[in-house]
Structure 1
Amino acid sequence: MLTDDIKQEIRGSLAKIAGVMPAFKARPGQRVMIAEVARAFAASQQGKSDKDKSPVNTGSTFVCVNGGTGIGKSLAYVLPGALIARRREKKLVISSSTVALQEQLVRKDLPLFLPAAGVHMKYELAKGRTRFVCEHKLRRVIEDMRQLGMFPGNATEDAPDGHIGVYETLLKDFESGQWDGDRDTIERIDDAQWSTITTDRHGCLSRRCPNYKTCAQVNYPGLKAGA
């Protein structure tokens, strides 16, 4: 249930943002979206079973919003989500369709709006396995290309572009710590090349991998901020 005190807290946070950022002006569409998102979060509650007092879902809700450009969608779902999650001592998970939007939220929107709203929360960027290099596959690709290079006319048979130097440089930078294995921090490789040196959960060897201890995903520190 969306109580009056939650509504007041959301209004108060918007007022704080307006006070800190004179150029900020809540748009009518944004206010409607904030209200709908807040109602959806508030309606999804967790209660206790009468038998063993274990948590049970007492309500799950969905809200679908078609917000045009300039509505201020990020703030419209982050603010009510953050406030309600904090009240319930829960984690708020925001899933986006692109990594670019995730990074915009963590690098720009959250550092801008949360402090202005007086909301103190820690947040972290999480990425899927295919955004990281698979060291095992990278080493295997390099070895295969080196062996192919031993036979005239076959040097590029199994390589997207035949440029073994690209892969060797990536491995060198990864081993030296100059590159953390994150796909989004390099520009010198295209999608076809990348697909040969990453893996999804089905192809991952996990702890059986000989390179598990230095795995880019396992050791990725993430982008953490907030208080």
Structure 2
Amino acid sequence: MTKLSVNINKIATLRNSRGGNVPNVVAAALACERFGAQGITVHPRPDERHIRYQDVFDLKAAIKTEFNIEGNCREQKFVDLVLANKPTQVTLVPDELGQITSNHGWDTIKHKDYLTEMCKLFKDQGIRVSIFVDPDEDMVEAAAETGTDRIELYTEAYAEAFNSRKDEAIRPYFRAAIKAREVGLGVNAGHDLDLNNLAYFNQHIPDLLEVSIGHALIADALYLGLEETIKRYLAALK
């Protein structure tokens, strides 16, 4: 079964909008675990507009499932944060300053030397590494040359096309996953996956190990409740 890692950034966004500590991100993460999520994801950014750096330390001390920290490894503060907490996995994302949300994968050909250096840095500390990539076979093949353990397929294009042409939308992701298998990489996926499109994606992507879902899942929880929402996402991954 593909693992579900819940991204709790939006819980932190809600907390920060009011100040104080309600809702509590650690309590939310523990609830996600209790309801069946197999991992917790955070994506701290330099302005701490959602997840704060201290949240990462607090979460590391509390959660029992896999911990995935996403972010821009070109920021030294992010690198230091990951090394200090030693999560199960670090996902390297090529964010720019001020970016609202991730919107593209790494050019693993252009940045191969740099990514190789970063993969070694984290793997030497026992941290599994995943590189955020677009569904491009050349990018997947070059990612394998960096020493990364996994790739995370950026799924916004799939989600945008799903309702009108899902067969066409899934094809590049299928080909990218096959290429990943050929070059020995594990496959994760994330961005705009939801209850409408998740099951189809999971059924058509071979060897999919993990999905990271935040915005849609937290939004669904407003209507369905967190426990029922996680139950439905897990059902879509069977």
Q: Give the TM-score range, shorter chain.
A: under 0.3
TM-score (norm 2): 0.27
TM-score (norm 1): 0.28
